[in-house]
Amino acid sequence: MIRQRTLTAIAAAALLALPLAACTDSGAEEDPTTTQDAPPTADPSDATPQERITASFEASDAAAANGWKDTSYVNDFFVPELAEKQRADDEERASSGAVITGDRALSDWTTVEETDTTAVVEFCDDTSALEATKDGEPVEITNQRGESVGRFTLVKESDSEPWMIKEQGYYDEGTTCDAHFAG
């Protein structure tokens, strides 16, 4: 019994030492240009506008991969007026019988404006890796833009509420991410 307690105490001390060792100065200088993104938050009311937009695309892409059978995600990310429009668009997509899969790449996040209750965010949305199939056969995605610049407006009523997408739009076709975010 004493041996088991000793081993347990040693194991506990080793587990405690790992995080503490990570906090000690190893003598190496940090690169001042290196940044570390915060991990996504579990509580939607704590999520940043960027995290909310990313999560909305992930939910939308998951619905697309399942033929838009479940579009309840719209209530989690969009204000009621935009949620109704998104739901109607998703129902139209579902009636096509197509399924869309692949990876979307979001980058070049820029907060254009942010107050306690409103945020305007621009970003690059690259959908060139998305593919559509219908009855197992490839079909063309008619509105696939490839790389485009999105501009979303989010609102929040209080700190205890999550950011909700109020407006979503894209710059005119031909506006490249490189050119738009170069300045």
Lay out the sheet containing 118-126: strands in order across: 105-114, 118-126, 147-155, 164-170
Say what the pTM is.
0.75
- What's the CA gap between 175 and 122, in Å, rounded? 13
pLDDT of residue 135: 87
Low-confidence ranges of the chain (pLDDT < 70): 1-42, 143
pLDDT of residue 55: 97
pLDDT of residue 152: 98
**Phi, psi dihedral angles at 152 (to 5 degrees):** -115, 140
- What's the CA gap between 63 and 67, in Å, rounded? 6
The answer to whether the CB of 154 falls within 8 A of the CB of 50 is no
Which residue in 86, 98, 92 sits closest to 141, CA to CA?
Answer: 98
pLDDT of residue 143: 66
